[in-house]
Chains A and B, each alone.
Chain A
Amino acid sequence: MTEILIKNGFVVDPLNKINCEKMDIAIKNGKVVAKVNEKNAQVIDAAGLTVMAGGVDIHSHVAGAEVNMGRMIRPEDHYKDPVRKTALTRCGTGYSIPSTFVTGYRYSEMGYTSVFNGSVAALKAKHAHEELNDIPLMDKATYILTGDWWFVLENLAKGDVDECARLVAWLMRATKGYAIKIVNPGGLESWGFGRNVHSIDDPVPNFGITPREIMRGLIKVNKKLNMPHTIHLHTNNLGVPGNYQTTLDTMKAFEDLSTDGKPVAHITHIQFASFKGENWGKFKSGAEEIAKYMNAHNHMTLDMGQVTFSDTTTMTADGPFEFSLYELGGHNKWVNSDVETESSGGIIPFHYKKNSPVNALQWSIGLEIALLIKDPWKIFMTTDHPNGGPFYDYPKVLAWLYSKKAREATLKKCHKSAKKKSLLPSIDRELSLYEIAIMTRAGTAKALGLPDKGHLGVGADADVAIFNINPETLDISQKFRTARKAFANAAYTIKDGTIVVKDGQVVNSQIPGRTFWVDAETKDPCKIDDEMKRKFRDYWTIEFENYPVTDHYVKVSDRLERKASV
C-alpha cells in the first residue's frame, strides 16, 4: 500500500488538542503513523492548506427503504441535477436525494469520509445495507429503529430491562446495526391506528407503557450493552409548535441516568424540536431555553438539523409528523410507509423558502442553538439530510456558523417577521476552524465511540481532508465565500490511505469503505426457542430464519465487539 506524507499543512485536530499547527502527517497501510520514508512516499505539499481528519456525519438519511421511496417519487427532483458518467465514476442523479454512487462522490468531494445512516426499520435492514454497499468512498453504519419494536415495548412494560437488553443485542447483530434509534417513542405504534402520543407521559395504546419509560428503559439497555454510541433520539412532538417543552421534559427525564458525567442520549435534528408558541401563527424560537439547559447539563449531545432553504424532501420514520405536515397544505405528494411491529414512516417534498415566516425562523433556530451552546462537543453540524436540506449544503451551514457576515447576508433576505423574531442579530459568536473541526469530525467521532476516527494522531484511520484555507492569511469570517468554496471542494480527500479526491474532483472511486456494526456479547443469550419463534411468526410476516441480515449484505464488514454487562 502506498505511503503518503502530508507536509507543512496547518493541522486542526481537536481530539489531540492541535490547533492550526504547522506539521506533517504520515500515512502508511491505511493508518496515520509517526513517520514514513519521504523517498517512498507520495508527498502532498500542504503548505498554506488546512489539514483535518475526514468528516464524520452523525445523522444523514442516505440509504434504506424510506430514502429509496423518496428517490422513486421525485423524478422532477433528479431531472434538474443529472450526473454524467466518467471514466472514473458511475453516472446518476443528484439533488435532494442523490443516487447512491453520487452520494459517495459528493460527500467525498467535501472531505467527508464516514456517514451514519439516520434510521432503518429492522425488517428492511437488508435493503439499507444493499444501498450502503453502493455508496463508495465512505465508511458507514446504520441506526436501527428500536423504540417501537414490540419486543422492546413488551419487555419494558414488564420492567424486564435485562431481557430487553438481550433482545436488543440480538437485534443489532441480526440487522448489522450500530446504535439504538428511537423515533417519536410510542408515537409510531400509535400511528398504526392513525393516532399519536403528545407528551412523554401519554400512554401508548395497547401496550401499557409511556414514551418516558421507553426512552429511559432503552438508555439503561444501551448502558448494559456497553454500546459505542448513546441512544439516538428523535423526540416526541417533533415539528409541532411549542414542542421545546417536550424536548426539555425529555432531557430532564434522563438527568439521573448519567452517572459518570458522560452523555446518555443524543437528540438528533434539535432544530425541529425547539419550537415555541402555541400555533404556527405564534411560532417562536425555543433556542434560548434549549441552549440554556444544555449549557448547564452534560448528559446530552445534539445535532442541528439545520434548514438550508432548498427544494428538498422530508423523510422520517415519524409517520404521524409527516401526515400533520401534509395537512398543513401546499404539498402534492405524501407517502406513508408503516412497517409491521416496528415502525412507521413518511415522506413529503418540501421547499424551504426565505419568504416564509416559519421556514425562515426555522433556519434561525438551528443556528441560534448551535451558537448559543457554548461547548461545541455538545452540538454537531447536520442538516438531517435531506430533511433540512441536502448534505452538500454543509459548506453553507458552516459559513453561517463561522461568519456573522454570512448570517446577516442571508437574514436580510428573510421574511420580515422572522427577522424580528430571530435572535441571530444579538449573537456575535463566530466559530473557529478548531470548533468547526469539533462539530464536523472530532465531536461526532467521539459521540459515536469511534476511537480511530475524527483525529490524526498515530493509529488513527488515514481518513484526511485537506482544505484550501490558509488560517494565517484568510479571515474566514470576512471572506466567508472563499472559505465556503474551500469546504465544498476539498483540495484533497484521503480515504483509508488513498487519495480519492483532488481539487474537489473524485480521482479514485474504487475504495468501497467499511460498514460498522455492533456485536454486543451478553452473558446469557436471549432465548431463541420454539416459543420465541412462534411469537416471531405471530408478530412478523416473515420467518425468524429469514429476518437477519447475513454477511452477504455487508461488502466490507467491520464488527465492533462489545462486552455487555447482562
Chain B
Amino acid sequence: MITLTALRAFDVPIQTPCITPENFTGKSLAEIKVLPVTEGVRNLTLGDLFKIEETNDGTSNITINGDCAKVKRVGQGMKTGEITVNGNIGMHTGEKMAGGKIIVNGNAGGWTGSEMKKGTIEIHGDAGDYTASPYRGNDLGMKGGLITVDGNVGTDVGCYNQGGVIKIKGNAGRFLGFHMSDGAIYVEKDVDVRAGALMTGGKIVVGGKMEILPSFTIDNVKPKVKVDSETNVAGPFYVFLGDLSEKGTGKIFANKAANPAFKFYEKYL
C-alpha cells in the first residue's frame, strides 16, 4: 500500500492523473516519486508535493492524507484496487473509472465519477456539481457502478445516467438526473427544482420535498419503491412519468407525505 501525505497546503490547481493503483503497480518508491504532475503551470513530480511511503501489504492500494481539495483527476480511469482519501479531494476524481473503489472521507469536487463505467465511489462528505455527469458536449453518462454520498450534492448530478446507481443521504441540487435514460438516483432529503428534466428512462426516488416540471404527468401512487437490489424505500410515493417533451418514460417517485402540494394531481388518477 502506498500512502501519500500532502507536504503543504496547495494554493493552485494540481493535476495528478497518475494516481491510480494500476499505475503504481510494479513501480518502486523512487519511480513513483518522479511521476509527472503539474502545480498550476509548473511541471513537477509527485514527490515534490507529497510525502510518499510504502507499507508492504501486497496491494497497490493508495491512501491520500491531507487537504487535497485542489488536487484533480485522482483515480482517473482506474480499473482495480482501492484509493482512500482522508480529507477533501478535487475535481474529476474517478473520472472514466472502470472498476475498483474510491473512498473519500471528506468532500469531493465536481465531476466525481464522470463517465464512470463500473466500480464504487463512497463519499462520506458532500459531492460537488456534475457528480456522475459526463464531460461537456457528451451524452455518455454513467454506464454502471455505484456512487454513495453521505452529505449533499450540487447541481446537475447524474446527467445522462445510462445505468449507474447514485444514493444521496442529504439534499440534491437542481437538474438532478438531467436527460437520464436508465439507472436509479435516490435522494433521502430534499431536491431543488427540475429533477428529471428531459429524462427518457430510469428512476429518481426522492424522500423529501421537491417540485415537478409541467412536462411530467401523474401515473399512480405506490406504497414503496425498489432503488436497487439492496435498497427498498417505503413511501407512499406519487409516481410521475416523463419527460413528455422528450416522449420519455422515466419515473419520478415523490414522497407523498413530504409533498402535500401534489395533492391536486390525484384528481387525474
Contact = CB atoms under 8 A, between A and B. Distances in A.
- A–B interface present (Cβ within 8 A): yes
Interface of A: 73-77, 79, 332-333
A79 B139 contact: no
B136 interface: yes
Contacts of A332: 139
Contact of A73 (B134, B135, B137): B137
Nearest to B134: A76
Task: Give chain B's interface residue range (CB within 8 Å of chain A).
Answer: under 10
Interface string B86-116: 0000000000000000000000000000000
B28 interface: no
B138 interface: yes
Contacts of B134: 76
B114 to A, nearest CB: 11
A496 B139 CA distance: 44
Interface of B: 134-139
A77 B135 CA distance: 10
Nearest to B160: A332
B139 A75 contact: no
5 residue pairs, one from A and one from B, having the closest CB atoms: A76-B138, A76-B137, A75-B137, A75-B136, A332-B139
Main secondary structure of the interface of A (DSSP, over half): helix
Contacts of A73: 137
A333 B136 CA distance: 13
Chain B CB count within 10 A is highest, among A74, A76, A77, A79, for: A76
Residue from B135, B136, B137 having most chain A Cβ neighbours under 10 A: B137
B5 to A, nearest CB: 31
A286 to B, nearest CB: 34
Contacts of A333: 137
Given A75-B135, A76-B135, 11 more contacts: A73-B137, A74-B137, A75-B137, A76-B134, A76-B136, A76-B137, A77-B137, A79-B135, A79-B137, A79-B138, A332-B139
Contacts of B135: 75-76, 79
Nearest to A349: B137
A73 B135 CA distance: 13
B95 to A, nearest CB: 11
A124 B137 CA distance: 26
A96 to B, nearest CB: 12
Nearest to B138: A76
A77 B134 CA distance: 13
A298 to B, nearest CB: 46
Nearest to A72: B137
A75 B134 CA distance: 12
A97 to B, nearest CB: 12
Contacts of B138: 76, 79
Nearest to A331: B139
Contacts of A76: 134-138
A76 B138 CA distance: 6
Contacts of B137: 73-77, 79, 333
Contacts of B139: 332
B84 to A, nearest CB: 29
Contacts of A77: 137
A73 B139 CA distance: 13
Nearest to B140: A76
B179 to A, nearest CB: 9
A333 B134 CA distance: 16
A77 B137 CA distance: 8
B205 to A, nearest CB: 26
A74 B137 CA distance: 6
A328 B149 CA distance: 40
A345 B269 CA distance: 47
A228 B139 CA distance: 45
